Structure 1
Amino acid sequence: MSLLIRNGKIITHRGHFDANVLLWNGKIAVFTKNELKADEVVDASGKLVMPGVIDPHVHFRQPGMPSEDWASGSKAALAGGVTTVLDMPNTKPPTTTLLELEKKKALISTSAPGGPLVNYGLHFGVTTGNLEEVFRAVGWDSPTLLAASAKIFMGSSTGDLLIRDLETIRQVIRGSRLVSVHAEDEEIIMMHSDKPDHSSRRPKSAAISAIRKLLSVGQQGRVYVLHVTSLEEAELASPFYREATPHHLFLNSSALRELGNYAKVNPPLREESDRRSLWQALLNNMIEAIGSDHAPHLKEDKAKENAPSGMPGVETSLPLMINASLNGLIGLEKVVELMCYNPSRIFSIKGKGKMELGADADITIIDPNIEKKVTADELHYKCGWTPYEGMRLKGWPVITILGGKVAFREGEFYPVRGKEVSYAF
């Protein structure tokens, strides 16, 4: 099977150039200015051609939670230009044993006829009593990496995977090839539990304290700090990989007044000064990756007084960043670095995140001239809402290619299937 992408502007993490791209048997085979024959031709005139996004931080909620599933979440991903997702372990039951890991993989394999709609990997949850299984899944001595990382929650969130013991955290970091950390200090959260609003109950000081604790035990390992919310955190976490989310880049604490519980997320949206400082960190190479932290909840749950934290985002992450680029805030190459190349490098995912010969042909084509308002009615989330409702964005994915085949084109999905990623350790 061959597919030719004609007349596009190729965007890599290093630069851009105009070329035709031939995809052959699921791989990028040729870049050329010449015309080539292929089984299928896609005209990308006036469009941007980049690697498919790797979203290293999604919660597709299966098994056990009704606010998303692998079919709906994967459709949202494809429509948003995302070809690979790494799913978090705080489901019901949680992914904290090798048995539950295999059960989850089996569930994903049957989420659509013929297999999953996107490529995927899974994070493995850490508890105080499962370190042996953690190391079998992601340990240095494991002959095969079975999961993308070991996931530690230092602060409470959806699910019950809280780890407070620093010695346990030290052991996990030393014994694992990569550890992803939700860095909020539970002790500080508990000290502020009587505060009147979500932001003050989980202050920035909780994140800073957690990172300091990580520094005391984790500098001998590979650590990926999730959802950094400010320049101060990013500077402090300099020995580690650092992730930012679109909602911390594009929303601030005023959204809590406007959206109420729909803007409730862990860690909370910060003040405008923190949001601006996070952009400063990102543009000064103190953020290595962007993850959506796609964490949807149903409207009826968000309507409750003690609503759960989390918001959907996998379908809007790339449009938000492309719009920022087209408005001159960030270069397209930097977007590719943060959303494609670096996630592949950090998580050692074979073949993905690159526009180069021999790489997997997972590709997103963006029309930079499409400008429209974000509306939940046009998105594919099962939860039925978005915190970006009404926001006007320019630059949207129009074609998503998975393994050299068109999986999504202008609102239509095709019977193309992904698979579990392989790791290069």
Structure 2
Amino acid sequence: MVVDMIYKGKFLFWDNEVVQGTIIMENGKILEVHGPSYKVESDVILDYSMQPEIMALPGVIDMHVHFRGFNLSYREDEYTGTRGAAKGGVTTVVEMPNTDPKMDNITTVLRKIKEYEKKSFIDYAVYAAVPDSLEKLNDLLENWSHIMGFKIFPNDYSNPHLKNLLKGAYEKDLLVVLHAEDPNLIKEVDSPGERWKTRSIEAAISAIDKIYELATPNPPRMHLAHASSLEEVIEAKRLGYTVETIPHYFLLTSEIEKEMGAFAKVNPPLRSYPIAKALLEAVSKGTVDSIASDHAPYSIEEKNAPFIEAPSGVPGVEITLPIMLTMVNWGLLTIPQVARLTSINPASILKLERVGKIASNYLANIVLVNMKTEGIITADEFECKSKYTPFEGFKYKGKPILTILHGDVIYDGEHFIRPSYTLNISKLRREC
């Protein structure tokens, strides 16, 4: 038998064991997984069996990116965003809907999907925004198969159609992703390093509770985006939310915002060291379900505005996996934990079928990593358009070196190669 591609070496099998073996890929899927001595022929053989520092992991599923496009393509677009993702070992992204124009209607959603079909290097899906009319909401719910779910931002809390959206999401089994900051309890300040005091944890918890209460008695599947404290995690989990966080919330503090100003300005804000430390412990203990990048790029000119006026958001899709691998080398996480946080659990939260693991009949979306490669994060080397990061100068150990999508190498450590095809993963959801 001659197959499309073979990988030989270490890999994470299913979700809990790093083994030495052979991965056979055919027609975009993992055909079979065997021991190291298994014989099969292929024109493409990736043999790392004598390099124990290299292993194969399931490709990262980043549930939270803003790849902009449309009228904001000067910040990022589907082409540059997905190339950066591929470089970072990410094989699937789900894009947030605060685009321009906003994805609060099926016409704009379908237009965005067309942009991905033309430009993307990886698999993708989109969330829809809370519409400003029942007609738009009903159109989205009728065409639910095109979206992964809905994203609720703080300025949506007073939307008169929000309760109908939550009811419709429950009926269609769509995911609802929450940015939890109660707009009645937050305000901006013109003092870098102080925003965490006026955009408090209490404001986040209030939002978590309010949206849940609005959804009662039949809440849909709900997911807390970018948790910035342990308290948010505990409250959201108590109410049945799944929970994500972002590396900058547990590895950086408000001191970085004080030092870098708007170039470290994010919402929710970076918090104090004790808060970040407690969240880091929650990540290490497995209390948090998933890790995302919240890749939210802006131009340098926009970030150079006066601090109180400058927009919030930083790029991150290229560096999430190196940061997580570094935590393995620090002894804070294990390889199975990284895979659960970045691939296995996101696939489960999104209800994806046959995605997120290295196992027979799963999509052959794989990243090879070198656990001994060391370097320093430098924004000037980003593939993405925004060349800034609050992780500037961060010393990493562990790096993606090759990314595979549907059995095609799309990034080989230097060059990008167009895949045979990409998928809108909304079509891969399990039946309810």
Q: TM-score of the superposition, structure 2-length normalised?
A: 0.90
Q: How does 1:25-424 map to 2 (within 5 A)?
A: 25-33=27-35, 34-44=38-48, 45-46=51-52, 47-65=54-72, 66-111=74-119, 116-130=120-134, 132-137=135-140, 139=141, 142=142, 145-153=145-153, 155=154, 162-165=155-158, 168-176=161-169, 177-189=174-186, 192-193=187-188, 196=191, 197-218=194-215, 220-238=219-237, 239-305=240-306, 306-416=309-419, 417-421=421-425, 422=427, 423-424=429-430
Q: Distance in 1 between matches of 2:30 and 2:344?
A: 15
Q: Distance in 2 between matches of 1:393 and 1:11?
A: 25
Q: Distance in 2 between matches of 1:366 and 1:327?
A: 16
Secondary structure in 2 aligned to 1:412?
A: coil
Segments of 4+ in structure 1 off by > 6 A?
none
Are the aligned partners of 2:78 and 2:116 in contact in 1 as well (CA < 8 Å)? Answer: yes
Summarize deviations over 1:8-29 as a string: whole Å, max 9, x none.
Answer: 2335422221111111111101
Q: Distance in 2 between matches of 1:31 and 1:206?
A: 48
Q: Which amino acid aligns with 1:118?
A: I
Q: Distance in 1 between matches of 2:295 and 2:143?
A: 31
Secondary structure in 1 aligned to 2:156?
A: coil
Alignment: residue pair count? 408
Q: Distance in 1 between matches of 2:430 and 2:377?
A: 37
Q: Distance in 2 between matches of 1:357 and 1:290?
A: 25
Pairwise CA RMSD? 1.8
Q: Which amino acid aligns with 1:358?
A: N
| Distance verdict in 2 for CA 1:143–1:384, change over 3 Å | closer
Q: Which amino acid aligns with 1:300?
A: E
Q: Which amino acid aligns with 1:99?
A: T
Q: Distance in 1 between matches of 2:312 and 2:189?
A: 17
Summarize deviations over 1:145-194 as a string: whole Å, max 9, x none.
Answer: 211111111x2xxxxxx2123874333223202111111100011xx346
Are the aligned partners of 2:71 and 2:100 in contact in 1 as well (CA < 8 Å)? Answer: yes
Secondary structure in 1 aligned to 2:196?
A: helix
Q: After alignment, is 201-210 or 361-370 more displaced? A: 201-210
Q: Distance in 2 between matches of 1:195 and 1:402?
A: 44
Secondary structure in 2 aligned to 1:237?
A: helix
Deviation at 1:299, TM superposition (A): 0.9
| Distance verdict in 2 for CA 1:389–1:195, change over 3 Å | closer
Q: After alignment, is 218-227 or 164-173 more displaced? A: 164-173
Deviation at 1:136, TM superposition (A): 4.5
Are the aligned partners of 1:173 and 1:222 in contact in 2 as well (CA < 8 Å)? Answer: no
Q: Distance in 2 between matches of 1:336 and 1:289?
A: 10
Q: Which amino acid aligns with 2:71?
A: G
Deviation at 1:199, TM superposition (A): 2.9
Secondary structure in 1 aligned to 2:361?
A: coil
Q: Which amino acid aligns with 1:312?
A: P
Verify: 1:22 aligned to 2:24, yes or no.
Answer: yes
Are the aligned partners of 2:175 and 2:221 in contact in 1 as well (CA < 8 Å)? Answer: yes
Deviation at 1:209, TM superposition (A): 1.2
Q: Distance in 1 between matches of 2:116 and 2:417?
A: 18
| Distance verdict in 2 for CA 1:173–1:284, change over 3 Å | farther
Are the aligned partners of 1:399 and 1:409 in contact in 2 as well (CA < 8 Å)? Answer: yes
Alignment-derived partner of residue 158 in structure 1: none
Q: After alignment, is 209-218 or 404-413 more displaced? A: 209-218
Indicate the structure with greater helix content.
2
Q: Distance in 2 between matches of 1:352 and 1:166?
A: 35
Q: Distance in 1 between matches of 2:14 and 2:92?
A: 17
Alignment-derived partner of residue 12 in structure 2: 10
Are the aligned partners of 2:103 and 2:129 in contact in 1 as well (CA < 8 Å)? Answer: yes
| Distance verdict in 2 for CA 1:146–1:309, change over 3 Å | same
Q: Distance in 1 between matches of 2:47 and 2:206?
A: 51
Deviation at 1:203, TM superposition (A): 1.9
Q: Distance in 2 between matches of 1:390 and 1:265?
A: 19
Are the aligned partners of 1:172 and 1:179 in contact in 2 as well (CA < 8 Å)? Answer: no
Deviation at 1:5, TM superposition (A): 0.4
Q: TM-score of the superposition, structure 1-length normalised?
A: 0.92
